[in-house]
C-alpha cells in the first residue's frame, strides 16, 4: 500500500466558534464542499458525536470516487476533531482550529494509505498527481467554506 501525508493550512475571516460549527456539522459538508457527494451516519455515539461513524463519498478532480467510513476519535470543541478512516483510504485525519485575531487558523493533517489496487499499482508514477488531486480538493473545500461562512454572516445580519 502507498502511504501519503498531507498538511493543509487555511485562514478564515470568521470566529473560531462559527468555523467549528460548520466543520463539525459533517452532514452538511455536501452543501458547501463540491467534492463531498454524500455523508451518511452509520453509528452515532454520545451527544457530541465521539465514536460516531460516518460514510463519506468523495468525487475527485481526476474522476474517481473514494468511499470511507470515518470514526470520530477526538473532539475538543472548538479546537480539535480527529477521526480514523477505513475504506478506499485508511488512516487518520485531524482538524486543528486556533483563534487568530478575529479569524481562525485551521490546520488539517491527513495521513493515509491507499487500499484501491489500481492506486497502489500507479503510486510510483502517479504520486505527484494524487498530491495535486488532494490539493485541489482542499482548495475547493476552502473556497466553499469561505462562501458558506459569508452567506451565514449575511443571513445573520439581514433584516
Interval 72-128: pLDDT, tens = 999 999 999 999 999 999 999 999 999 999 999 999 999 999 999 999 999 999 999
CATH number of 3-157: 3.30.530.20
- The helix, strand and coil proportions of the chain, stated in percent and rounded to the nearest 5, come to 35, 45, 20
- The grid coordinates listed for 89 are 483510504
State pTM to two decimals: 0.91
Domain residue ranges in the chain: 3-157
4 pLDDT more than 80: yes
Confidence of residue 159 (pLDDT cuts 50, 70, 90): very low
Interval 43-58: pLDDT, tens = 776 556 788 999 999 9
Amino acid at each position: 500500500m502507498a502511504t501519503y501525508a498531507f498538511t493543509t493550512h487555511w485562514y478564515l475571516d470568521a470566529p473560531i466558534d462559527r468555523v467549528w460549527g460548520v466543520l463539525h456539522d459533517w452532514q452538511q459538508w455536501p452543501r458547501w464542499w463540491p467534492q463531498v457527494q454524500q455523508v451518511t451516519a452509520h453509528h452515532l455515539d454520545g451527544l457530541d458525536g465521539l465514536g460516531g461513524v460516518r460514510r463519506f463519498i468523495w468525487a475527485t478532480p481526476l474522476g474517481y470516487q473514494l468511499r470511507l467510513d470515518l470514526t470520530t476519535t477526538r473532539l475538543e470543541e472548538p479546537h480539535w476533531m480527529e477521526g480514523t478512516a477505513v475504506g478506499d483510504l485508511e488512516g487518520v485525519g485531524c482538524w486543528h482550529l486556533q483563534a487568530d485575531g478575529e479569524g481562525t487558523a485551521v490546520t488539517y493533517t491527513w495521513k493515509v494509505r491507499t487500499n484501491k489496487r489500481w492506486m497502489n499499482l500507479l503510486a510510483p508514477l502517479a504520486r505527484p498527481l494524487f498530491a495535486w488531486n488532494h490539493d485541489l480538493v482542499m482548495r475547493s473545500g476552502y473556497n466553499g467554506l469561505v462562501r458558506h461562512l459569508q452567506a451565514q454572516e449575511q443571513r445573520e445580519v439581514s433584516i
